[in-house]
């Protein structure tokens, strides 16, 4: 099959009637052959972006290019873009073959696509005679048989159960790589985004927050929103004050009982900052210590998390909850047990308290600093 050209989106905005700004000046490139996952909470503008690329809605501002052509304003049927929705409708009066061939001339192509999707043995069945996963494969097949210039998938697997979804996701990734067409896959599931994307684009309230590889998004989130959105429990973010007295930096958050010496791992900015760390970066010993009471325990099977109430240090009355991952094979604490844990200082993230934007610490690359290890 031919390799599709890329998608280029420049300054794309969409304001719906009234003043709903569904998309706000989005710039995004998807290379030929790339699988980009577009992720964000409900209402962040994901479907709107796909509909604009497909030509189903007109942008308020901005341009869209597919390969060498500017397709802004071009009607949908002349864009050669395939869009697959979660609740797709197959033609119930047509067999699988009929669904794949609908509007096509290239029957050889149909056989090839059916083979790729592992549905060759289902070609003579009707949609009502297929499982949900098989129907989803037929819908994908119907989209790719046209050899579109771009493949747009809007939560295509979300109606399926978890094992089927995992299996199809892997197949989809391989299929997309084999076909080499630029693909945007929409999901609101951060774990799915990390598992599937060559790159991830994160949307919130119509604004692009970050684009990057799964590793960049998880390990170097561009702002507080991305930090808290990704990870099974998100990132903890504590507001406090960074000061350098006599040159050595200390981070203090009095409502959480925190006073951490941060030699070598502090950002250059001082003042009100957000300190972020992931639940899995809790370790038994470290100069960055947290003390609290166990407020809840949650097991996800492979990992157990505890919420620690770290208030009450300085006569605080409101709860300050921090999520930590408990070390495996240790006896689980009970509710209200006191617990002291350390946070790996080399795994701290820093954000500006006012803007939420990432600040880089002085210690790059982020390797373990032996002097900071207890």
| CB of 157 vs ligand ATP, minimal distance in Å | 14
40 or 279: CB nearest ligand ATP: 40
* Closest distance to ligand ATP from the beta carbon of 201 (Å): 12
Minimum CB separation from ligand ATP for residue 41, in Å? 7
Q: Which of residues 181-200 bind ligand ATP (CB under 6 A)?
A: 188
Cα gap 140→84, rounded to integer Å: 7
Least gap, CB of 307 to ligand ATP (angstroms): 27
Rule CB under 6 A: say whether 209 interacts with ligand ATP: no
Tell me how many residues contact ligand ATP (CB under 6 A).
12
Work out how close the CB of 49 gets to ligand ATP at its nearest, in angstroms, rounded to a whole number. Answer: 7
Of residues 188 and 293, the one with the C-beta less far from ligand ATP: 188
For the CB of residue 211, give the shortest distance to ligand ATP in the complex, in Å.
16
The minimum distance between CB 142 and ligand ATP, in angstroms, equals 22
Rounded distance, CA 373 to CA 281, Å?
13
Q: Which of 9, 6, 12, 11 is nearest to 68 (CA)?
A: 6
Which CB atom, from 5 or from 50, has the smaller least distance to ligand ATP?
A: 50
The verdict on 16 binding ligand ATP (CB under 6 A) reads yes
Which residues, 30 to 49, sit near ligand ATP by CB under 6 A?
40, 42-48
**Of residues 20, 131, 296, 355, which one binds ligand ATP by CB under 6 A?**
20
Q: Which is nearer to ligand ATP, 43 or 333 (CB)?
A: 43
Q: Does 278 bind ligand ATP (CB under 6 A)?
A: no
What's the Cα-to-Cα distance from 260 to each of 175, 242, 279, 290, 344, rounded to whole Å? 49, 9, 18, 9, 11
Binding stretches for ligand ATP (CB under 6 A)? 16, 20, 22, 40, 42-48, 188
């Amino acid at each position: 099959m031919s390799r599709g050209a890329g998608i280029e989106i420049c300054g794309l905005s969409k304001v719906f009637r009234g003043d709903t700004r569904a998309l706000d000046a989005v710039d995004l490139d998807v290379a030929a052959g790339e699988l980009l996952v577009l992720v964000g909470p409900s209402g962040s503008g994901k479907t709107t972006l796909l509909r604009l690329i497909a030509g189903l809605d007109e942008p308020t501002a901005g341009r869209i290019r597919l390969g060498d052509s500017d397709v802004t304003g071009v009607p949908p049927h002349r864009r050669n873009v395939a869009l697959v929705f979660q609740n797709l409708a197959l033609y119930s009066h047509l067999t699988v073959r009929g669904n794949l061939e609908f509007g096509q001339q290239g029957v050889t192509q149909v056989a090839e696509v059916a083979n790729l999707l592992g549905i060759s043995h289902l070609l003579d069945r009707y949609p009502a005679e297929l499982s949900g996963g098989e129907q989803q494969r037929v819908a994908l097949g119907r989209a790719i048989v046209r050899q579109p210039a771009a493949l747009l998938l809007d939560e295509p697997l979300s109606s399926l159960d978890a094992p089927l979804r995992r299996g199809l996701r892997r197949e989809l990734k391989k299929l997309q790589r084999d076909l080499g067409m630029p693909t945007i896959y929409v999901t609101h599931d951060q774990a799915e985004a990390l598992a599937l994307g060559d790159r991830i684009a994160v949307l919130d309230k119509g604004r692009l927050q970050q684009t990057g590889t799964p590793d960049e998004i998880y390990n170097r989130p561009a702002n507080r929103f991305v930090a808290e959105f990704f990870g099974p429990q998100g990132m903890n973010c504590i507001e406090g004050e960074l000061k350098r007295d006599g040159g050595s930096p200390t981070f203090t958050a009095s409502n959480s009982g925190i006073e951490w010496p941060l030699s070598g791992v502090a950002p250059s900015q001082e003042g009100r900052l957000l300190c972020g760390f992931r639940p899995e970066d809790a370790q038994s010993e470290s100069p960055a210590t947290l003390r609290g009471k166990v407020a809840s325990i949650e097991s996800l099977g492979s990992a157990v998390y505890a919420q620690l109430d770290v208030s009450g240090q300085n006569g605080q009355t409101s709860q300050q909850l921090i999520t930590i991952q408990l070390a495996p094979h240790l006896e689980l604490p009970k509710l209200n047990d006191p617990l002291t844990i350390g946070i790996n200082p080399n795994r701290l993230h820093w954000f500006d308290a006012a803007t939420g934007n990432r600040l880089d610490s002085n210690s790059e690359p982020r390797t373990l600093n032996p002097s900071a290890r207890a």
